[in-house]
Chain A
Amino acid sequence: MKISTIKIKTFLKKEGFYNTLSFILLVLVWKIISLLVGSEIIFPSPEDTFVSVFKLFKSSEFFLVILSSIKRGFFGFLISLVLGIIFGFLAGFNKTFRKIFEPFMIVIRTIPIIALILIALIWFKADNVPIFASFLIAFPIIYVNTVEGIRNTDIKLIQMSKIYNIRKLRVITEIYLPSLFPFLISAVSTAVGTGWKVVIAAEVLSQPKYAIGTSLQTSKIYLNINDVFAWIIIAIFIGYIFERVIRLIGNRLVKWNKDYVS
């Protein structure tokens, strides 16, 4: 009982208090800027924006729009995760593979995002352009961190598994993979965040029927700045939720690691 009260208190103190404070500060700064600009058409106030968010929320297509975007982000991320880990394992174990793959990675990493989206527009259906774009952004992040994780796996544990004649597959799933988690968690968090931004950017250009990016673009064309701001708020909120969920899953996965701090 005592412990739980203390826990709640520290939680309120730490998480709740500072979060609320920073949120209030953010809205305050926003409000001040909107007052300074003094034009609802250029920089809407927080209250007008929240009214717009509420209106959008009540519109019939709202959930279809955000779920379509989330779906694209999710698929782009999932493909990046699976391929990033597979290629990362290959490159982590095999120097030749790593060297051969390096130029491809340099190209993928350094190509301007917008150029990539333009090429994707030619190659793919509007619905799939954002998936492809977010894949090319997220894949290198997962790949690099997987390689790093593999190469940082404790060689002493591998020796131990050799002495005890542990099967290869089990060495991979029970030694390499868990060693990777601390590396992957930060990588996944970055990959999802950046991937989500790229999904929306690609949607603005590729204009799928239902998409946050499309809605943003449409609002802009009609000079409806309140809706533009509202969609931005919605996109930020979804991105934030993603990040929290990943942290939560991540902490669960490495609960054995006392040193790991979220």
Chain B
Amino acid sequence: MSLKIKNLKKVYADIQIFNDFNLEIEEEKITCILGVSGIGKTLLLNTITGITPADSADISDFSCKTFSYIFQEPRLLRWKTVYGNILFALKDFYSGKEARNICNKYIDIVGLTKFKNYYPAAISGGMEQRVSIARAFAYPSNILLMDEPFKSLDFRLKKNIISTFINLWDSDRRTVIFITHDIEEAAFIGDKIFILSNRLPVHIKKELNIDIPQKERGRDNKYILKIKKSLTENL
């Protein structure tokens, strides 16, 4: 099964960003969209969710889907604790007890049980992003959108959080659309990678499939090295 974006047209700030743009997203896989900065990657996600409506497009495959979103910044409510922030997204969908159990489960998975009652101001940026990831998985969504969520993290932290993400996704497979400009991230996370053109209006320059599971992708895995080389050449 796949979800299709057909004939997407969008003018943004007087620039034609998308003109008959087409994309096919495979369900329960991680689709990675790789492109340089300012090429309309975030805009693509926003047209899918409807935050910024497209000028015209056939995205009916997405119309009855629910989304969760891991943003570049954690986007937590500063007046709610780690626990409160996750509960915030669940309250309208689950009964009290159910919601509490789900909260605790995901806080535990991302390793923040000790910090459950901390306010965002009292935890680190990396921890905040973990909360944001936990919130996205705890929420009953069909599709998970990720907009460069690892961008502002340092190397070690990034590695750490990516593996938390992979573990979570492995136990709870959802359709993921992951946006990045980082070749390394794309090669470690994506099942399928679309490389966007460097020129506007955007089109897909190349697509690549990675057939080995995320957990087996080591830094010096020959296959991954080859993928990375190919991505570098095409970006």
Whether A256 pairs with B51 at a CB distance below 8 angstroms is no
Q: A156-B75, A175-B77 are in contact. Are A163 and B49 (CB under 8 A)?
A: yes
**Shortest beta-carbon distance from B147 to chain A in Å:** 11
A256-B69 contact in complex given A159-B51, A166-B89, C-beta closer than 8 Å: no
**Quick check: is A102 within 8 A (CB to CB) of the other chain?**
no
**Are B89 and A156 closer than 8 Å at their CB atoms?**
no
- Which B residues, 8 to 61, have Cβ-Cβ distances below 8 Å to chain A? 49, 51
CB contact list, B62-106 vs A, under 8 A = 66-69, 71, 73, 75, 77-80, 88-89, 91-92
Decide yes or no whether B139 CB sits under 8 A from chain A.
yes
- Please, which residues of chain B bring their CB within 8 A of the CB of A167? 92
In the complex formed, the residue of A with least CB distance to B49 is A163
Would A164 and B77 count as touching, CB distance under 8 A? no
Nearest residue, chain B, Cβ from A160: B75
Would you call B119 an interface residue if the criterion is a C-beta within 8 Å of the partner chain's C-beta atoms?
A: yes
Tell me the A139-172 residues at the B interface (CB within 8 Å): 156-157, 159-160, 162-167, 170
Find B66's partner among A157, A165, A254, A259 (CB 8 Å cutoff): A165
Asked if B212 is at the interface of the complex by the 8 Å CB criterion, the answer is no
- Asked if A257 is an interface residue, CB under 8 A from chain B, the answer is yes
Interface of A is mostly: helix
Kindly list chain B residues whose C-beta atoms are within 8 Å of the C-beta of A259. 121
Interface residue total, chain B, C-beta cutoff 8 A: 23
Q: Does A174 contact B77, Cβ atoms closer than 8 Å? A: yes
Whether, in the assembled complex, A239 has its beta carbon less than 8 Å from a beta carbon of chain B, the answer is: no
Residues from chain B with a CB closer than 8 A to the CB of A254 are 79
Q: Verify B92–A170 contact, CB threshold 8 A.
A: yes
Within 8 Å of chain B (Cβ to Cβ): is A2? no
Let me know if B122 and A258 touch, CB within 8 A: yes
Asked if A256 and B121 sit within 8 Å, CB to CB, the answer is: yes
Q: Is A163 touching B69 in the complex (CB atoms < 8 A)?
A: yes
Segment 164-206 of A: residues with Cβ below 8 Å from B: 164-167, 170, 174-175, 178, 181
A174 CA / B122 CA spacing, docked (Å): 20
Q: What separation, in Å, do the CA atoms of A163 and B62 have in the docked complex?
A: 13
How far does the Cβ of A172 sit from chain B's closest Cβ, in whole Å?
13
Please tell me if the beta carbons of B75 and A157 are within 8 angstroms of each other in the complex.
yes
Smallest distance from the beta carbon of B17 to chain A beta carbons, Å? 19
A163: contacting residue among B67, B92, B120, CB under 8 A:
B67
Contact between chains at A256 and B67 (CB < 8 Å): no
**B92 A165 Cβ-Cβ under 8 A:** yes
Which residues of chain B are within 8 angstroms of A174 by Cβ–Cβ distance?
Answer: 77, 80, 88
Q: Report the Cα distance A257→B71, complex, angstroms.
A: 22
- Residues on A with C-beta less than 8 A from B69 are 160, 163-164
Whether A156 lies near B51 (C-beta < 8 A) is no
Chain B residue with minimal CB distance to A255?
B119
Smallest distance from the beta carbon of B73 to chain A beta carbons, Å? 7
Asked whether A256 lies within 8 Å of B119 as measured between CB atoms, the reply is yes
When C-beta atoms are compared, the residue in chain A nearest to B139 turns out to be: A164
With the chains together, A259 CA to B139 CA distance in Å?
Answer: 30
Task: Produce 1/0 per residue, B111-150, CB < 8 A to A.
Answer: 0000000011110000000000001000100000000000
Residues of B within 8 A of A157 (CB): 75, 77
Residue of A nearest to B135 (CB): A164
B79 touches A178 (CB 8 A): yes
| B77 x A166 contact (CB < 8 A) | no
Q: Is the CB of A166 within 8 A of B92?
A: yes
Chain A nearest Cβ from B131, distance in angstroms? 12
Which partner residue on chain A sits nearest B122 by CB separation?
A258
Question: In whole angstroms, how far apart are the Cα atoms of A94 and B221 in the complex?
Answer: 57
Can you list 11 A-B pairs with a CB-CB distance of less than 8 A?
A: A157-B75, A157-B77, A163-B49, A164-B135, A165-B92, A174-B77, A256-B119, A256-B120, A256-B121, A258-B121, A258-B122
Query: 8 closest Cβ contacts across the A-B interface?
Result: A178-B79, A258-B121, A256-B119, A164-B89, A256-B79, A160-B75, A163-B69, A156-B75
A residues engaging B (CB < 8 A)? 156-157, 159-160, 162-167, 170, 174-175, 178, 181, 254, 256-259
